[in-house]
Amino acid sequence: MKNKYLSIFVLAFLFLILSPAFASASTHNNKSHDYEVHVVYYASGGILVPFTVGTDITMNITVSYPGKIITYEDIYAYIVNGALFPFKCSLNVGTIKYYKDDSYWSTHSLPYVGSYIADPNNITGFRYGKPNTDLVDSSTYKAIGAVTYSSSSTTPMSFVVDTTEGVVD
């Protein structure tokens, strides 16, 4: 009788461990960060004065296992000392492009939270969201987040901050 219960217990234990339906989900956060500097020119007193625009960008992608499903994305950026410029500028943050095997796969446009000034010296843009993912399960993707600087007072009036890359594994 003891062996019968022991056999049932062992079979039940093996079933729980080996069955994907009972496997517990875990998550992994992919975080990437980049800092880029661009020079813009502002007309002051009949001459063009150069200003350095330092943009700091961070992207987070949370992947849930099993199945490698993207469950959360966010991307935010700020212009260091942006509020000290003698001109107004803004950041447009909010797209993450996914590539698989060096081929474009899809673009996720995240819900807009808005540009705001988190610190009197920094102009900040931020977007986040739980995406409706259109990626294929169990694949590895390269993710690229983009931020666009814009100002009607400078030359150039806009540029895309190079990208922040991360791997969704």
Contacts of 63 (CB under 8 A, 6+ apart): 27, 28, 29, 30, 69, 70, 71, 168, 169
pLDDT of 165: 74
Amino acid identity of residue 7, one-letter, is S
d(CA 136, CA 1): 49
114-151: per-residue pLDDT in tens? 555 556 566 666 666 555 566 666 667 888 888 888 89
**Contact, 16 vs 24, CB < 8 A?**
no
The string over 118-132, giving b where at least 16 C-beta atoms fall within 10 Å of a residue's C-beta and e elsewhere, is eeeebbbbbbbbebe
Q: 113 vs 90, 94, 110, 128, 160, CA distance in Å? A: 14, 9, 9, 7, 19
26-82: per-residue pLDDT in tens? 877 888 888 999 999 999 888 999 999 998 888 888 877 776 777 778 888 888 887
Amino acid identity of residue 146, one-letter, is A
- Which one has a higher pLDDT value, 22 or 111? 111
